[in-house]
Amino acid sequence: MLQCRGFALDFDKEGRLRAACRIKLATAFQKQWRRAMHWRGKMRAPAEILELQVAALKNTFLGRGQYSAFRFRW
């Protein structure tokens, strides 16, 4: 068993995550993915921030704006 950020990673003998561990990890990720955080003066969920970042990157490639990267703090 391996500890990572307070989470116990449990592997089988082939080195894959055990089913219970995968479920727990996916559930924790989903909880964080929906949790709103402050971004540019507003409360937004990471899914919404990702959409806005993709649009900003697209506009930068098209010469219609500037891209400023967002760094998640998990």
Tens digits of pLDDT across the chain (74 residues): 667 667 788 899 999 999 998 998 899 889 888 899 898 899 999 889 999 999 999 999 999 988 888 776 65
DSSP-derived pairing of the beta strands 42-44 and 37-39: antiparallel
For residue 35, give every residue at least 6 positions away whose Cβ sits within 8 Å of its Cβ, in sequence order, or none. Answer: 45, 46
Place of tokens 């891209």: 67
User: Which residues does residue 39 pair with via DSSP β-bridges, in sequence order?
Assistant: 42
Question: Domain boundaries in the chain?
Answer: 1-34, 37-74
User: What would the two tokens of residue 38 be?
Assistant: 């402050």
pLDDT of residue 28: 87
Instruction: Answer whether 39's CB lies under 8 Å from 49's CB.
Output: yes
pLDDT of residue 62: 95
